[in-house]
Amino acid sequence: MRVIIIITAALILLGIVIFSVPSDSNSGVISDNKNLILKIENNSSFLESPIEWGGFKIATADIDKIRETSVSENSKKNLSETDENAIFKEIKFDRNSIVAPESCDSFETVIVNPAKFRELASNGTVNLDLMGEDYELKLQEREIQKPNVNSYMGYIAGKPQSSVFFTVKDESIDGCINVDFFNQSYGIASTDEKYDGKIVHLLWEYYNEGGEEEIKKNHSLDPLEFSLKNNDKKSHEIHIELLDFYNKSVFKENYTMNPEDEIFSPEITVEPGYYRYKIILDNKLTFEQRVTASYAANLGGSEKIHFNIRDDPDNPIEFVSEIS
């Protein structure tokens, strides 16, 4: 069954409280016995009910289940604290009072500084120390129709398979940091607990050593492909280029299209990761669309993009993303 998502050139991304993984990850979902953390077969993360959103696979996290496993209100707290950075501050609890997510490799209880996160994110870069690992996050704020709520998405500098999503409120930070498609992810979720008047959060890591190697044994790379169709009444000149994570061109071509013409690309074989189509229409208008390349797994693969030229001055190109 094919999933098809229509995205116009004037796409508006809706802000929602999310955890996310890259869009190639629509493979089988396996739940742990506490039904707290869900693993995606080729990108273990902590999700449920995956959907497609703007070139990404998105899923809501079961925050209530996470809260149920957090420390009880009356549990004995160890008052020693460790500063990780200005955003996350680890709090040491009595380990006997904590029910840890069984599917993760390690976890911490932390309090957070949403104001500091927003301040740094406004400049596009947030540096985080996650369980001893330093990451430079490149973030872009997304429009959201909720007061006092900010939604961010982006990637980790130097990590071509990474994706980052955060929802920040006045007292909480919820999000997911995927270091790569197959091996390593972090999640952070608010709980119902309070410490010194601040909301306690769970920060956890999932690490699947050799995850990509296991995928390689059974699946081949799924090439990227695109199609162009001119549904306008006029002829058009089209320049299309595919760029990798580091903005290196891996494909480019020029086309002249008459009304009703349709063009299909060759198969473009690339390594797994995020790529970006850049389209210039009639040497005037530029449009971009992000896609994911991955392995041809049973329930997922690389995105196929269909570009439709329309008789619409406001939205002259329509994007249709398909994962077969």
Kind plus residue range of the DSSP H or E element containing 112: strand 106-112
- Where is pLDDT greater, at 258 or 300? 258
CA-to-CA distance for 8 and 270, rounded, in angstroms?
Answer: 26
CA-to-CA distance for 21 and 285, rounded, in angstroms?
Answer: 31
pLDDT digits (tens, 9 = 90+) for 18-67: 333 333 333 333 233 333 333 333 333 333 333 333 343 333 444 444 44
CA-to-CA distance for 12 and 32, rounded, in angstroms?
Answer: 35
Kind plus residue range of the DSSP H or E element containing 134: strand 133-142
Classify each residue of 53-80 as buried b or exposed e, where b means 16 or more C-beta atoms within 10 Å of its C-beta: bbbbbbbebbbeebeebbbeeeeebeee
Sorting pLDDT into bands at 50, 70 and 90, what band is 219? confident
CA-to-CA distance for 99 and 102, rounded, in angstroms?
Answer: 9
Cβ atoms of 190 and 173 within 8 Å: the answer is: yes
The edge-to-edge listing of strands for the beta sheet with 262-264 is 3-8, 317-323, 303-309, 225-230, 262-264
- Would you put residue 106 in left (φ > 0), alpha (ψ -120 to 50) or beta? beta
- Where is pLDDT greater, at 131 or 94? 131
Side chain identity, residue 249: S
pLDDT digits (tens, 9 = 90+) for 155-195: 999 988 888 999 999 999 999 998 987 889 999 988 888 88
Burial class (CB in 10 A: 0-12, 13-18, 19+), 141: middle
pLDDT digits (tens, 9 = 90+) for 100-157: 666 777 888 889 999 999 999 999 999 998 988 999 999 989 888 788 999 998 899 9
Determine how many CB atoms are found less than 10 A away from the CB of residue 90. 16
* Backbone φ and ψ of 136, nearest 5°: -105, 110
Contacts of 240 (CB under 8 A, 6+ apart): 226, 228, 252, 253, 255, 277, 278, 279, 280, 307
Sorting pLDDT into bands at 50, 70 and 90, what band is 297? confident
* Token pair belonging to 268: 């473009």
Which residue blocks in 28-72 are alpha helix, DSSP H? Answer: 63-68
Sorting pLDDT into bands at 50, 70 and 90, what band is 98? low
Determine how many CB atoms are found less than 10 A away from the CB of residue 239. 15
Radius of gyration of the chain (CA): 21
Write down the pTM of the prediction: 0.59
Q: How far is CA 312 from CA 132, 238, 282, 320, in A?
A: 51, 16, 14, 16
Sorting pLDDT into bands at 50, 70 and 90, what band is 80? very low
Q: Which CATH number, 3.40.50.1370, 2.60.40.4150, 3.40.50.280, 2.40.30.330, labels domain 221-323?
A: 2.60.40.4150
Name the residue among 157, 161, 160 with its Cα closest to residue 181. 161
Domain ranges of the chain: 3-216, 221-323
CA-to-CA distance for 47 and 60, rounded, in angstroms?
Answer: 6
Cβ atoms of 21 and 300 within 8 Å: the answer is: no
At residue 286, the pLDDT reads 93
Where do we find the tokens 């769970």? 202
CA-to-CA distance for 163 and 177, rounded, in angstroms?
Answer: 6
Total residues belonging to the chain: 324
Name the residue among 274, 234, 284 with its Cα closest to residue 250. 274
